Structure 1
Amino acid sequence: MWDAIAISAVAMTGIIALRYFASSGAFALATNIKRPGYHAKLGDQIRREIGWSLASAAIYGIPAGVVAWGWQERGWTLIYTEWDAMPLWYLPLAPLAYLVLHDAWFYWTHRLMHRPSLFRTMHAVHHASRPPTAWAAMSFHPWEALTGAVVIPALVFFIPIHIAMLGLVLAIMTVMGVTNHMGWEMFPRRLVHSRLGSWLITASHHQRHHEEYRCNYGLYFRIWDRLCGTDRGLSERI
């Protein structure tokens, strides 16, 4: 049993690392095309970002591997594969619930990590990326990585979700994590500055967090920032 769990954890670590290289690499290439010279003189920083991100991949991969094994071998989770196992109207609700809950967890743990003592211990690694790049999406100290690694594996024990919808959640998490750190806005201006865009977090919003530190703590939505008075709007630099 323990061998199978270890194999599952190693496999998930490899998958997460490959996902990181594919997504961050693709958007880093897009950055080189869109913003030539943005990565100039950032070689040492990018190498550090990749190193920390690979360590984070292992920290994310271990709980994911344990949960994947438990789902397949013991039926531990509420992940389902049959389309008719739940009403069809429920399909989009589950990923929305995951994103809302993940966003709330991220906001409060992220804001907590900006307290001086915790910042030095846990979060300074991430903010060492100046300016942030697409490679910084998973550049975390292990303690910070651990706070992010437990969320989705925990939710699958409490909220039923189709395996395809879980894949959608992970895809959104990956794309948002990378694009928010690129240093330029990939989404159309008409979306970013629309009524809908005023509730969503994109690179323009998260860049301001990296500029000022004490604001814009959310991951997907601006709800908690607005409720708690920590929303400072969009960066004027991108």
Structure 2
Amino acid sequence: MTNVLNTVVTYAGFWLWKDGLIVIRVEPSWKILTDFLLLFFSMDFLMYLFHFLIHKTMLYQLIHRLHHEATDPKPMDLFILHPVETLSFGGMWLVLLLLLPFNWYAILIYLTVNLVFGLIGHLGMEPLPIRWQDSWVMRGLGSSTFHHDHHRDVDHNFGFYTTIWDILFGTLRK
């Protein structure tokens, strides 16, 4: 169902673009990097906020508990979401695209990174060597261990791509 609803969101985005409400730039330029970073950090914050609010309200029992039935998540668990969650994440994405014009290449890179982070977060093991995991860059990114800990302790580690918001809002599990 998650993939079907993601397709619905994609078609909605296509029609919004076709009607001129979403503006996508296609020229390659240095803006690819800035657009990607804006998408990455904006979506990371919005998804952190949504994820935190779901956990702290009755919505957890109503819609998010299903995803947390996997206490030892596997890659397929990425796609076990309640329809409300899937449409909410897609809605955040579309609102961001409606608000600002983004470069086509930045969008493609972001969507690829989004899928990779989602799969790594549910991998159940760290794919990188330990010496890389201990670097300051990797400690700032949401890893498989980071998300696995969230599935075991639902009061911490709400971030998706980074640990920034968990650090800032005191929800990082140490």
Q: TM-score interval w.r.t. the shorter chain?
A: over 0.9
SS in 2 for 1:196: helix
2:30 and 2:106 map into 1 onto residues whose CA distance is 13
SS in 1 for 2:170: coil
CA contact under 8 A between 1:132 and 1:183: conserved in structure 2? yes
Which of 134, 139, 145 is equivalent to 2:75? 134
Matched, 1:219 2:130: no
Q: Which amino acid aligns with 2:93?
A: I
How many corresponding residue pairs?
174
2:90 and 2:2 map into 1 onto residues whose CA distance is 9
CA contact under 8 A between 1:111 and 1:217: conserved in structure 2? yes
Matched, 1:56 2:2: yes
1:175 is displaced (CA, Å) by 0.7
CA contact under 8 A between 2:32 and 2:105: conserved in structure 1? no
Which of 76, 84, 99 is equivalent to 2:21? 76
2:79 and 2:160 map into 1 onto residues whose CA distance is 13
Superposition misfits of 4+ residues, deviation over 3 angstroms: none
- Highest relative contact order (Cα 8 Å, sep 6+), 1 or 2? 2
CA contact under 8 A between 2:141 and 2:163: conserved in structure 1? yes
| C-alpha distance after superposition, 1:22-44 (max 9, x if no partner) | xxxxxxxxxxxxxxxxxxxxxxx
> For structure 1, which runs of at least 5 residues remain unmatched after alignment?
1-54, 234-238
| C-alpha distance after superposition, 1:66-108 (max 9, x if no partner) | 221332x33321212233xxxx232201011111111111111
Question: Superposition RMSD on alpha carbons, in Å?
Answer: 1.4
> For structure 2, which runs of at least 5 residues remain unmatched after alignment?
none
**1:1-238 mapped onto 2 (5 Å cutoff):** 55-71=1-17, 73-83=18-28, 88-115=29-56, 117-233=58-174
Identity of aligned residues (%): 26
CA contact under 8 A between 1:94 and 1:159: conserved in structure 2? no
